[in-house]
Structure 1
Amino acid sequence: MSKSIHITKRNFKGLHKEELDEQAQDPNSELNQWAKKSALKKEIKKNRKR
């Protein structure tokens, strides 16, 4: 099974600060999934350069 994460910035673009704060506290929110995705992408890119 693929480990792909299908989240983009559009999923949470335009949200108010309060809504973003709520998503930051929820471990299963789209915002946290996007953070995991971007960290994973950075790690993969580093490994490719080696």
Structure 2
Amino acid sequence: MNKTNEIVAFPALIEPLDPTSRVVITDTMHTQKNQAGLIADKGGHFVFGVK
């Protein structure tokens, strides 16, 4: 069984999407620079929850 978590799976989920001029909203777990970069580099915007 290949176990993974949401942080590791995030890039594979975002890659096929076109977030250009869209807002991607995620929970606190995804408040990370590399994940913000994945969205912004493709022309998208993001809102991350912070605790």
On whether the aligned pair clears a TM of 0.5, the verdict is no
State the TM-score, normalizing by the size of structure 2: 0.28
Higher strand share: 2
- TM superposition score normalised by structure 1: 0.29
Higher relative contact order (CA 8 A, sep 6+): 2
Q: Which structure dedicates a bigger proportion of its chain to helix?
A: 1
